[in-house]
A and B are shown apart, each in its own frame.
Chain A
Amino acid sequence: MSSVVENAAAYVAAQQDTAAQLPGYGLAELDAGRAAALEQLSRQGLPSQQDEDWKYTSTRSITRAAFKPASAGATCPSDFITQSVIEGLNPYRMVFVDGFLSAALSDLEALPTHVRLRSLAQVLSEDATSVLPKLGQMLGDPPHGFAAMNSAFVADGAVVEIEAHQHLERPIELLFVSGCGDEGLVSMPRTLVLMGEGSQATIIERHCSLKEVRSLNNSLVEIDLGKGAVLDYCSLQSQSDRSFHVGGLFAGLAESATLRATTVSTSGALVRNDARINLNGENSTVHLDGCYLVFGRSHVDNHTHISHNRADCVSRETYKGVLGDRGRAVFHGRIVVKQDAQKTDSEQSNQNLLLSEEAEIDTKPQLEIYADDVKCAHGATVGQLDDLALFYLVSRGVKRETARRMLTQAFAADVLDRVESVPLRQYLQSLAFDRLSNA
């Protein structure tokens, strides 16, 4: 290997030291994938503000911290899991402690036979051939050093397989608990969701912290939706304000498939989400929504990329943010309409509410269109609470503070109201409202 970019050197060395212990080591295809990712990580290093896609997000607090890859075996008290249950949700649950499956904390009782929930480590060591071709397929070339790092270390995470025409009634919850082990660990879970033709499911990906320790969560999710499959997906980040989160959601949709994904970020020192949705089949639909509540000194960066590769696809994207204190948020939404993607219907909107002097928002909605028979629109706004609405409430006897809170909550609730699952929606709303009233 030639020269290694300095900020990635420690990770590259750690990978080389431990590669032989990673699950599935020795499988030619897997080894080659890890090696290629490692090569990219060495060559590119971790991103910096010199990269256009990281222009507004400094990774210095991550790169100068030198995180150590977490290892399996950390524990999390079962109380913590019971306390963080979402009321009424009653999911099949997989719990990951610092990125590794904890079978003891997971609850897969009464799982139907046509649905398989396994850990990636188990799959790689026992049954790799069935899943390997899919691993990395939706990701494609890793867009940045963090994704490459995840691929180079790929070891554990969830593998969700739903057979064709199966409708899963109960949701699946993937609970990632970080901050269980020592200070300064990086966990790198990789999740694979494979849905067969005509299947339906709801999946919740939750990230939270056990302890207030400095940690990095470099998570990557790949979703493959078969023809006509429908997936409701929610990714929730509510980690401690000492933790860093770099998350990726990479999805490929076949003909007539539907993905409704919602990303909610309420805390964390630095949260960066990359979502890449490829509409590969005709008539496929994606609803990509996001809600970010950025307070304290948090920094939340959402990068989305929707690619219309085939004709007659629909995309709807709504990201809303509320910023207070010294919060800083970035939105970068890119919609690409390829030449063959005629009759594309695409809408994107990003709205931001600034509540304090010190808050800052940078937004970049982008359209790249190479087909002519399309309907595309995007919009972005930055503003404050509507004075008129505020006046109206105050004139009706509502206290100014209450009125402000009501309007702020209503602003954020817009996105959350679209979540299909009622218990999940209520949980998200209470989480968001708590965050807003404590701010």
Chain B
Amino acid sequence: MNTSVKELGDLVGRDYKEGFVTDIESDTLPPGLDESVVRFLSANKSEPQFVLDWRLDAFRRWQEMDQPDWAHVHYAPIDYQGISYYSAPKRDEDRPQSLDEVDPKLLETYEKLGIPLEEQKALAGVAVDAVFDSVSVATTFKDKLAKVGVIFCPLSEALINHPDLVRKYLGSVVPATDNFYAALNSAVFTEGSFVYIPKGVRCPMELSTYFRINALNTGQFERTLIVADEGSYVSYLEGCTAPMRDENQLHAAVVELVALKDAEIKYSTVQNWYPGDEEGRGGIYNFVTKRGACRGENAKISWTQVETGSAITWKYPSVLLEGNGSVGEFYSVALTNNCQQADTGTKMIHIGEDTSSTIISKGISAGRGQNAYRGLVKVLKGAKNARNYSQCDSLLMGDRCGAHTFPYVEVKNPTATIEHEASTSKIGEDQLFYCRQRGLAEEDAVSMIVNGFCKEVFRELPMEFAVEAQKLLGISLEGAVG
């Protein structure tokens, strides 16, 4: 046992594999936030006037808002004036048109991460809109997508090329003043993706964006907008890694999904940002607002997330079930180790008739990690025959960690059927013993049991993501039990 504890200690003590800094010069705005910064951001992207007005309105409202403090997380106050709100890789005027033109150092970065663009292209047939810091530097597969009429481009480009489409939907799901971080994002968002799937089109490939946070002290404020028109289907992948840092970095993204009649959007996330060191120094603050609206009959939105990184995660991907018969799903694995804190969950708002939602949340706490599920299932008066099933399971490893469950259920219609179940347990000694006496090493046994615990979520992920997610969990967890 002693030797295995030592080995496990080595494993736990391993450095963050993705921690490195790419040496690329950046155009960075000095730290601070006022109206002129907002104006600069807008002008820099040559945005139409309505976007600037929208940003300024959000900024003014943001100034009147207070930072929320209800989440079950603790952190030092954030100095919003100490953050630089813009950082772009140099030479953004002449963007590379193909991979050959991309800065070799950037390609090297992706290779270190194990996700080079070429491999992505060949392996998965994935179109990658890679966001390196704040400006998109490489977009692929455009032609193939263009053939079926799919628009997949940086949001800044969409604002110029498709202003009417963007104007119609931007902020329609997450209003600029929705909450403190959404307002901040609306004022200073610098990049993100825009996806439009036309009527009846099944997107021929999985769309993917890799975000990286790079330049020192730069918060990143992406904004993603996905619109699936009637009868269309799209699967969108979001994955993140970030270089090692000493200072906390703020990340306040907004993701909006709109699914019209009979459309389906599947949104998958693997998040592996720098979680801070063993003492909780550094690490990313991940305060994200994600929300989807099922605007038409039988629309479907499905969120799948695997959250293993970040010092603090504060994230509630939600679905507004407006159309009759619409469906919302939320599958989540959240892992906290060392001093990580996560307060995550979902909101399912049943508005239309015959709407249904499923929530499967798996929380794993190890070390001194604190993991909270916070969810809301709300059935409004008109939502006849609403159906919800929620299941939140927590796994505890170590006696210094915490697992918490805060579900809210609000029902205003008697025809609703709502079920919520939660359980908390640790890996059973008998389970471990069983595996060990069958000849499995302890960490293999733990990894196997944890993967089994998360199976219901992993099977919702696209294949290549599921592989990555299992690897991530394995790395983060092996040795947490001794």
B422–A379 touching, CB < 8 Å: yes
A357: which B residues are within 8 A, CB to CB? Answer: 413-414
Interface residues on B, range: 20 to 34
- CB B354 to nearest CB in A, in angstroms, measures 15
A381 at the interface (CB under 8 A from B): yes
B455 at the interface (CB under 8 A from A): no
B407–A383 touching, CB < 8 Å: no
A376: which B residues are within 8 A, CB to CB? Answer: 422-425
A368–B398 touching, CB < 8 Å: no
B406: which A residues are within 8 A, CB to CB? Answer: 364, 366
A383: which B residues are within 8 A, CB to CB? Answer: 416-419
B409 at the interface (CB under 8 A from A): yes
Tell me the nearest residue of chain B to A376, going by C-beta. B424
A169 at the interface (CB under 8 A from B): no
A366–B409 touching, CB < 8 Å: no
B409–A382 touching, CB < 8 Å: yes
Q: Contacting A360 at CB < 8 Å: which of B70, B400, B411, B420?
A: B411
A134: which B residues are within 8 A, CB to CB? Answer: none
B416–A367 touching, CB < 8 Å: no
Q: Known contacts A354-B414, A364-B407: does B419 contact A379 (CB below 8 Å)?
A: yes
A374–B425 touching, CB < 8 Å: yes
B424–A369 touching, CB < 8 Å: yes
B420–A365 touching, CB < 8 Å: yes
A363 at the interface (CB under 8 A from B): yes
B415–A384 touching, CB < 8 Å: yes
B402–A368 touching, CB < 8 Å: yes
A residues 363-400 with Cβ under 8 Å of B?
363-384
B408 at the interface (CB under 8 A from A): yes
A380: which B residues are within 8 A, CB to CB? Answer: 407, 409, 418-420
B409–A364 touching, CB < 8 Å: yes
Q: For B405, B406, B409, B425, which residue has the most chain A Cβ atoms within 10 angstroms?
A: B409
B421 at the interface (CB under 8 A from A): yes
Q: How far is the CA of A357 from the CA of B383 in the complex (A)?
A: 11
A192 at the interface (CB under 8 A from B): no
- CB A125 to nearest CB in B, in angstroms, measures 45
Tell me the nearest residue of chain B to A360, going by C-beta. B412
B396 at the interface (CB under 8 A from A): yes
Q: How far is the CA of A360 from the CA of B379 in the complex (A)?
A: 10
B397 at the interface (CB under 8 A from A): yes
A365: which B residues are within 8 A, CB to CB? Answer: 405, 407, 420, 422
A342 at the interface (CB under 8 A from B): yes
A371: which B residues are within 8 A, CB to CB? Answer: 396, 399
B404 at the interface (CB under 8 A from A): yes
Q: How far is the CA of A292 from the CA of B421 in the complex (A)?
A: 21
Interface string of B413-446 (1 = CB under 8 A from A): 1111111111111100000000000000000000
Q: Contacting B411 at CB < 8 Å: which of A362, A368, A370?
A: A362
Q: Known contacts A372-B399, A380-B418, A383-B418: does B404 contact A367 (CB below 8 Å)?
A: yes
B422–A370 touching, CB < 8 Å: no
A356: which B residues are within 8 A, CB to CB? Answer: 414
Q: Considering the complex of A and B, which 3 residue pairs feature the smallest CB-CB distances, nearest first? A: A354-B414, A372-B396, A382-B418
Give B contacts to A, CB under 8 Å. Answer: 70, 379, 394, 396-426
Give A contacts to B, CB under 8 Å. Answer: 52, 56, 339, 342, 352, 354-357, 359-384
